C-alpha cells in the first residue's frame, strides 16, 4: 500500500485528486492535510490532519512529523502556495515528491515573469505589461489600450482569476488596483495587464517524466461556476467542459512547458485562449499540481493523479499520444450536486415538455 500525503485536502481540487486515486483501483492510503480545520471535515481522505500555513516557522517540521508518524511515501501539494513551499523543503521531508524544479515553480507562479519567458522562447502569449507602481498604472494601461479595446488586469500570482477585471480605460485600472492596495494590502507592482483574447478557452493537463510527455489531454471550458456573478463572466473553474481534439492546442501547450523547463518533470497544467484569428495563445501554466477537475479525465479513462504517484515511486510509465480521449466527453458539475460524465450525443436526450 502506498501512503500519500495530500496538501489542500479540504479544497475541491484536493477532493478531486482523492476521487481520481480511488478510481485507480490501486491501494492508496491518503492522509489529507489542510490549514483549515473547518474545510477538513469535507475531505474523504483516510486520515485528516490540520497543517501549518506555508511561511510559518514550523512548516517543514510539521510536515516531517506527519510524514514520520503516518509512514508517508509521497507528498503531493495541490494549492499553489503549498507547491512552492513543499518544493523549497523537498530534500528535508524524508518522503518522495514528483515536482518540477524550484526555478520552474517560481517562474510559473509569477505570471509576468512567465509571459516574458514565453516571449523569449517564441511561444504565443497575450501581449502584457507588469505594473511598476500605482503612479504608472494609467499610462501603462492606456498604452495597451491603443491597440486593444479592453485589457485584462490581474494579480501576478494566484489562481481562480484572482483580483482580475477587464477594463477600458487607465482610470478604471487605477481604481481597481487602488482598491486592492488600500483594502487588501496588496502592492501595485503585484499586478499586470494583458490583452483580452476573445476566442475559445482551453485547458491542457499533462504529466511529464524524464523530460518526456507521459500523458496530456486538452479540454474546452464552456461554462463557469458562478461566472455570471463576476464582472468578466468567468471564474477559471468550469461548470461545463468537454474533451477536444485540437492538435494546435496540444502543440502550443507542450511548447510552453518545454520553454518553461527544458527537462520537465511532474504535473503541468496549461491555460490557453484563442486570439481574434482563432490561434491559440498560452495565458499561464500551473506547475506542480493538477487542475481542479483532474477527476474529469480520470473518469474518462486517463487517470493522471495515479500516473503521477506511479512516477514518484520510480515506475517508468509508457508514453501515450497527446489527447488520447475521444472528443465531446462532457463534464458537468455544480456545487452540492456533484459531477457527471456525459457523452456529447446524450446531452440533449431528455423528453420535451411540449412534445
- 3-class SS string, 57-123: CCHHHHHHHHHHHHCCCEEEECCHHHHHHHHHHHHHCCCECCCCCHHHHHHHHCHHHHHHHHHHHCC
Q: What is the mean pLDDT of each run of 10 residues along the chain (355 residues)?
A: 98 97 97 96 97 94 97 97 97 97 96 92 91 90 86 79 84 92 90 88 97 98 75 73 98 98 98 94 96 97 98 97 98 91 89 76
What pLDDT shows up at residue 193? Answer: 86
d(CA 29, CA 51): 18
Q: What is the pLDDT of residue 198?
A: 87
Q: What is the pTM of this model?
A: 0.91
Pick the CATH number of 201-346 from 3.90.1170.50, 1.10.3810.10, 3.30.230.70, 3.30.470.20: 3.30.470.20
Per-residue pLDDT, 235? 64
- What CATH number belongs to 127-195? 3.30.1490.20
pLDDT number for residue 92: 94
Q: What is the pLDDT of residue 336?
A: 85
Dist CA 116 CA 348 (whole Å): 44
| CATH code assigned to 2-97 | 3.40.50.20
CA distance 129 to 116: 9
Enter the C-alpha cell of residue 169: 480605460
Residue with cell 482551453: 202
Q: Cell numbers of 272, please?
A: 490557453
- Enumerate the CATH 3.40.50.20 domain ranges in the chain, comma separated: 2-97
Amino acid at each position: 500500500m502506498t501512503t500519500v500525503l495530500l496538501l489542500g485536502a479540504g479544497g475541491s481540487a484536493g477532493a478531486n485528486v482523492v476521487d481520481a486515486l480511488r478510481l485507480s483501483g490501486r491501494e492508496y492510503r491518503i492522509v489529507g492535510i489542510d490549514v483549515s480545520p473547518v474545510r477538513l471535515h469535507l475531505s474523504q481522505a483516510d486520515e485528516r490532519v490540520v497543517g501549518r500555513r506555508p511561511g510559518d516557522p514550523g512548516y517543514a517540521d510539521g510536515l516531517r512529523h506527519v510524514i514520520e508518524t503516518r509512514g508517508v511515501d509521497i507528498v503531493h501539494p495541490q494549492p499553489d502556495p503549498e507547491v512552492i513551499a513543499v518544493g523549497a523543503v523537498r530534500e528535508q521531508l524524508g518522503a518522495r515528491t514528483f515536482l518540477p524544479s524550484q526555478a520552474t515553480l517560481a517562474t510559473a507562479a509569477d505570471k509576468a515573469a512567465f509571459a516574458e519567458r514565453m516571449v523569449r522562447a517564441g511561444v504565443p502569449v497575450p501581449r502584457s505589461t507588469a505594473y511598476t507602481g500605482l503612479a504608472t498604472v494609467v499610462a501603462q494601461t492606456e498604452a495597451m489600450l491603443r491597440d486593444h479595446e479592453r485589457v485584462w488586469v490581474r494579480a501576478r500570482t494566484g489562481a481562480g482569476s484572482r483580483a482580475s477585471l477587464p477594463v477600458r480605460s487607465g482610470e478604471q485600472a487605477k481604481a481597481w488596483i487602488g482598491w486592492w492596495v488600500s483594502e487588501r494590502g496588496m502592492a501595485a507592482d503585484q499586478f499586470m495587464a494583458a490583452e483580452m483574447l476573445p476566442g475559445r478557452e482551453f485547458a491542457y493537463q499533462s504529466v511529464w517524466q524524464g523530460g518526456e510527455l507521459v500523458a496530456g489531454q486538452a479540454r474546452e471550458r464552456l461554462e463557469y461556476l458562478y461566472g455570471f456573478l463576476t464582472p468578466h463572466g468567468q471564474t477559471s473553474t468550469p461548470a461545463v467542459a468537454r474533451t477536444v481534439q485540437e492538435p494546435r492546442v496540444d502543440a502550443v501547450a507542450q511548447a510552453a512547458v518545454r520553454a518553461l523547463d527544458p527537462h520537465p518533470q511532474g504535473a503541468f497544467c496549461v491555460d490557453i485562449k484563442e486570439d481574434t484569428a482563432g490561434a491559440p495563445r498560452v495565458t499561464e501554466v500551473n506547475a506542480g499540481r493538477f487542475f481542479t477537475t483532474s477527476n474529469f479525465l480520470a473518469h474518462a479513462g486517463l487517470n493522471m493523479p495515479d500516473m503521477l504517484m506511479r512516477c514518484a515511486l520510480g515506475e517508468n510509465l509508457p508514453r501515450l499520444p497527446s489527447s488520447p480521449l475521444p472528443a465531446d466527453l462532457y463534464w458537468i458539475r455544480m456545487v452540492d450536486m456533484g459531477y457527471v460524465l456525459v457523452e456529447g450525443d446524450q446531452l440533449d436526450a431528455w423528453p420535451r415538455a411540449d412534445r
